Amino acid sequence: LFSGADEALQVIRRLAPIYPLPGRQLRTLTTALADLFGATDAADMIYAQGSDACSAAQSARQACIDASRVLAGSPRDAEVILRMLLLHGAKAGQRDPAYHLLHVFSLIDHLLPMPQRDGEMRDVREEEIIAIWIRQVIPRVLTDLTAFFKMLDAENKAHMVRRLADLDEGVVGIAEWLVGEEIKMLKDAVRNLENAMTEHADSILLREYQVTISLRFLSDLMAGPSGSTTLAHTLTTSVGGSSEVASIMTSILHSLMANHSFSPFLFNVGEALISNPANLDPGLSFALALTCLRAVRYPAPADVNGTTVTLASSLSYALQALHVTPIRIIDPDRLCSELCDAL
């Protein structure tokens, strides 16, 4: 079956550029490619490496990738295929939803143009293709992209943002848009956590998990392995300087402190924002100062980030945040209370 599918896709690859498929047929073929792509991965894990079944599955997997790229040869077809994959990710049918979503995400990752590698130069044609995707294709599917993005786990969310940021290079701001949407989701999760404080312990645990996942995603992008990259700098500037996003982030920090909730990832995000204070929103800077002082009461276990939140580092970041906070913003009673508790 895999060999037959491989041969059929080879034929489609050769005919599609000459005879483009109508929209309905293209959407049907796209979902079939996604399902076949997932089946090849399952076969690859079940059968022994080097066996005929495994080899046929691997060949069919590559054929799915190649066919999707050929079919997305025009802006209109690329939009149809990308939108269909984004929608299909939520339609697992009888399959494992998480497994199905991961396969669709992997196919989308292969479908997107490859970013420039270090030391390599892109030719004019590659630049044109990337420009088409960034300026014409992706902006038209932002709603579906956001819905798909919200279903991913923290690691794959971070990978998607990095992938799009590498292609965008700050032209459209797609990565910043997705991070802003994640912060809005975090605000909803924090509100749900507040409302769940009187509910069953399992409900509270679920809400805490949702908040932690969002904070982990933000921490990974701003203060994780990519913390020193251009993307991290861009995101911290966007979050700290945008009045709307900064206001939401400020509300999140105050709500978490009111609930006596804390995560090492929250301190990492605060540290990253404070490290880029040039355009930091005044209200956010004061909330960050209080958060850094609060962090002293919740030392991070060594398996989270390898270090604990020490008093020295907490006070250092708190002072940096206060340094850029106007006097009129500072609440002396709250500041004294947090400082006394930290000491």
User: 228: pLDDT confidence band, cut at 50, 70 and 90?
Assistant: very low
Name the nearest CA neighbour of 91 among 25, 6, 142, 31.
31
Rounded to the nearest integer, the mean pLDDT of the chain is 85
What is the per-residue pLDDT for 49? 79
Would the CA dihedral through 301, 306, 312, 315 be positive or negative?
negative
Catalogue the long-range contacts made by 180-183 (C-beta closer than 8 Å, 24 or more residues apart).
180/238, 180/239, 180/242, 180/244, 180/245, 181/146, 181/149, 181/150, 182/149, 182/157, 182/214, 182/217, 182/218, 183/214, 183/218, 183/239, 183/245, 183/248, 183/249, 183/252
User: Quick one: 225 exposed, middle or buried, by C-beta within 10 A (0-12, 13-18, 19+)?
Assistant: exposed
Which range among 116-120, 187-191, 217-221, 231-235 shows the weakest confidence by mean pLDDT?
116-120
Name every residue whose Cβ is closer than 8 Å to that of residue 101 and which is 6 or more positions away in sequence.
89, 90, 92, 151, 152
| H helix runs in 201-242, sequence order | 201-223, 230-241
Helix (H) or strand (E) holding 92: none
User: 306: pLDDT confidence band, cut at 50, 70 and 90?
Assistant: very low
Which range among 153-167, 192-206, 280-294 shows the weakest confidence by mean pLDDT?
192-206
What is the per-residue pLDDT for 69? 93
Span 223-241, mean pLDDT?
A: 69
**62, 81, 115 from 126: Cα distances, Å:** 21, 19, 9
Is the pLDDT at 254 greater than 60? The verdict is: yes
Using the structure block, give the residue that is written with the tokens 């990974």: 220
Q: What percent of the chain has pLDDT over 70?
A: 92
**131, 138, 139, 254, 291 from 169: Cα distances, Å:** 11, 14, 15, 33, 32
What is the per-residue pLDDT for 280? 83
What is the per-residue pLDDT for 303? 45
User: For 22-45, what is each residue's pLDDT tens digit?
Assistant: 889 999 999 999 999 988 887 877
Q: What percent of the chain has pLDDT over 90?
A: 33
What is the per-residue pLDDT for 188? 92
Span 41-54, mean pLDDT?
A: 79
Structure tokens at 292: 């850094």
Is the pLDDT at 140 greater than 90? The verdict is: yes
Instruction: Please give the distance of CA 181 from its chain centroid, rounded to a whole number.
Output: 10
User: 227: pLDDT confidence band, cut at 50, 70 and 90?
Assistant: very low
Span 298-324, mean pLDDT?
A: 69
